[in-house]
Structure 1
Amino acid sequence: MPDLHRTATELFLKTSTTLHRRLIDVTAGKLGTRFKNMPTLTLTTTGRRTGKPHTVVLTVPIVDGPRYLIVASRGGDEISPAWFHNLSANPSVEVSFQHGPSQPMTARVLPAAEREARWPQILQAYPGYATYQNRTTRVIPVVELSPRSDH
């Protein structure tokens, strides 16, 4: 028997990201480039099993110059989002920040000490991440996206 909660969560996440991407595209970025008082970006990863591109819309709690920190919370679910698994397998990604031009970037999962140092800033940007962390036993990963020329 399939896990109905996981199936419903997957359907909700896929539907909401598709609708969010369409809103951004249809309004040429006039709507949808901020969510929960944070800027958004579209992240395109390469599927670790399919090799096909997958694009999601994510919030950006920290903009650090040309770098962005994103949080693999999945709302506090026990499993990390698919995009996190994809960029862990292949850190070469494409990013469009607030409906700007797409640029090649490299994803790097922050090591524990660096994650802990940045976590208070992330919570300042969106306190809801604390609720997500409390919902799960996993340590929610934080990912830095950097322009590829920086590496």
Structure 2
Amino acid sequence: MTEERRNFNEQIVAEFRANRGVVGGPFAGRDLLLLTTVGAKSGQARITPLVYTRDGDRLVIAASYGGAPKNPGWYHNLLAAPKVTVEVGEDKFEATATVVEDRAERDRLYAGMVAHAPGFADYEKKTDRLIPIVVLDR
């Protein structure tokens, strides 16, 4: 992750925590959560702000990385250690992250992401990889 991206994420995390989960800028009006993973190489806690949707009791996130050709670091971290911490508003809880393997379910959940935040359609067009969908269960 670049220094610029790290600084951006740190500002979003601080704003999220100061305002009970409400942030402005590019995330204004979006459902945002903070995902804490354990670094697969470093073993250090890594906090990432992510747009999410709901599917019943599950929270749904996409490893879009803005349409980059590779998956984001947080995705590799949760593959190595699927027990994560999630913050939604003022609620903080432990969850299990599961990559959605069924293509039809993945496509349905990704369509929900696009409906909530249309930029996800652009991310899909920018990359040749299939953007993974991850569900978070308490």
Same fold (TM over 0.5): yes
* Residue number among 95, 110, 121 corresponding to 1:105 in the alignment: 95
Name the counterpart of 1:22.
Answer: 14
Indicate the residue corresponding to 1:130 in structure 2: 121
How far apart, in 1, do the equivalents of 2:66 and 2:115 lie?
A: 17
% identical aligned pairs? 30
Q: Name the structure 1 match of 2:66.
A: 75
Residue 11 to residue 64, structure 1, CA distance change in 2 (3 Å): same
Change (3 A) 1:14 1:53: same
Q: Can you give the 5+ residue segments of structure 2 that lack an aligned partner in the other structure?
A: none
Deviation above 4 Å: which 4+ runs of structure 1?
A: none
CA contact 2:60–2:109 (8 Å) conserved in 1: no
Query: What whole-Å deviation, never above 9, does each CA across 1:1-23 have from its counterpart, x for those lacking one?
Result: xxxxxxxx623321211110111
Matched, 1:64 2:41: no
CA contact (8 A) 2:30 2:51 kept: yes
| TM-score, with length taken from structure 1 | 0.82
C-alpha RMSD of matched pairs (Å): 1.9
Structure 1: which 5+ runs fail to align? 1-8
Partner deviation per Cα, 1:51-76 (whole Å, 9 max, x = no partner): 1111111111x223431000111110
Using the size of structure 2 for normalisation, the TM-score is 0.89
Give the number of equivalent residue pairs: 136
Counterpart of 1:37 (choices 29, 40, 43) is: 29
Q: Is the 8 A contact 2:21 2:32 kept in 1?
A: no
Bigger Rg, which one: 1
Contact (CA 8 Å) 1:72, 1:141: kept in 2 or not?
yes
Q: Which moved more, 1:62-71 or 1:47-56?
A: 62-71
**Alignment counterpart, residue 75 of structure 2, candidates 71, 84, 93:** 84
Instruction: Report the Cα distance in structure 2 between the residues aligned to 1:144 and 1:49, rounded to whole angstroms.
Output: 23
> Are the counterparts in 2 of residues 36 and 126 from structure 1 also a CA contact under 8 Å?
no
